[in-house]
Amino acid sequence: MLALTLGACNPAPPQQEDTTPKTDPDREFTYDRLTVPLGGEGIRKAWSQQTLLHRVFIQKYDSASEAEQKEMKDELNKVYFTANPIIRQNFEDAIEQDPTEPANYVSYGYYLLPKHGEYENSLNYIQKGITMEEDNPAWHFLMAYAYVAPLRCGDFYRFGTIDQLRWKRYEEKYEIVMRRAARMWSKNWYVPYFMAIHQFRVDKDLEKCLDYIIQGNERTEGHFVFAPPLPLTINRWTFVPDRDEYFDLQWHFGLYPYAPMQQMVEAMLEDEEFAGDPENLWQLLVFLHKASETRPVDRIYHYHTGRVLEALKNSCKQNADAERAQKLEQVLDFYDSVSETLRHEFELLHLPLTKSGASNDPELLAIERSCRRQERIIEPMLKLHARLLKQVREALGYTAEDHPIVAFGREKE
């Protein structure tokens, strides 16, 4: 089935006609457009086909040997980096059927984003969507991301150094559009979080990264942003229509450079000045807690939380603060009990975790893919992490008034 479908990828993509939107003068943005599926049936068909290609390829790729994986390069390029004319036609049909719906243009732009020779074209489609609904903050966020997006789908890159070259070209445009998104979406904590992660990608300035993290920590809502056909903002996957159909797609074609997030946390912990300040580490813990709600069922945050707790305890010891260090030792005991609960849940679900699940267990990093769909794990874990954060706050002597813990869907605690 994969071979038959990929065969359609060989022809060169057709030249794009002028698809300038016919702006609807009566269109008015309302916030319900952030939380409902948008776009025509054509984009659903297109992404369903792309998702099928992705799933079949990933199953084949994961079961192959390392040598076989290297031989699959051409097949990989056809799945991810070649614009399939059949899928293109579905997007164009959606635009033809409803030329006044910006989601049809933005979604098409994101499909084209990593395709060979289509980058400028993809930006044009996204920009066309913005001009039709300029007061929708999600479009501006998606445009800003597109300016600096790595040419990737999941773990697969077409180029290596293109990120820095693109940053030099689009830095000014990114800054303008991203600041606009942050201003328009003043409550969404993931906008400054993304700014922190991208800041680390381009210049490793930890002070600026921390400033963005603090801005995000002060915000009260967390919305993970996606291109259509899914709703533009997602905070809980259980409420997303058709989430099972599009889950793999939106995860592997997601918008957030995840490796730099991990590298940023590592760099902060390795920086003696940063890691020696309990307030900095507290802000990093809050970031990990809140960001974990916007990336569905990702336990790598749990692993990094343990590392920050260890750094916090060591900081108190170095500052001769024995009382705080002892309380944080008790917090780490609770953290390890959370890890044990996680390990137990994995065993019940026959997920591949065999070691202790303690805070220094790197195997927690290897099981992420297996638990992404397990809501029965993520909801209890979020509650346990909220309790964990409260214990840290108490150990540091912080008050709830000065250091509130905010989680989406719940009041300040």
Tell me: the pLDDT tens digits for 337-370?
888 877 776 666 665 544 333 344 445 444 454 5
Question: Any idea what DSSP says for residue 152?
Answer: E
Query: What pLDDT, on the 0 to 100 scale, is given for residue 26?
Result: 58
What is the rounded distance in angstroms from the CA atom of residue 297 to the CA atom of residue 92? 34
Backbone angles phi, psi at 240, to 5 degrees: -95, 120
Question: How far is C-alpha 97 from the chain's CA centre?
Answer: 31
- Length of the chain in residues, anyone? 413
Res. 402: pLDDT tops 60: yes
Inform me whether the pLDDT recorded for 2 exceeds 80.
no
Question: Residue 253 carries which side chain, given as an amino acid letter?
Answer: F
Separation in Å, CA 333 to CA 226, 329, 338: 37, 6, 9
How do residues 135-179 score in pLDDT, each as one tens digit?
999 999 999 999 988 777 767 887 767 777 888 899 999 999 999
| 261-271 residue pLDDT tens | 889 999 999 99
On average, the pLDDT of the chain sits at 81
**Model pLDDT, residue 87:** 96
- Tell whether pTM > 0.85: no
In angstroms, the CA 183 to CA 181 distance is 5
**How do the domains of the chain map onto residue ranges?**
2-185, 233-396
Strand partners, 221: 188
Measured at the CA of 339, the angle between CA 334 and CA 342, to 5 degrees, comes to: 130
For residues 241 and 394, the model is more confident at 394
pLDDT of residue 158: 76
C-alpha of 388 from chain center: 23
Beta bridge partners of 224: 234
pLDDT tier at 22, thresholds 50, 70, 90: very low
**What was the pLDDT predicted at 247?**
60
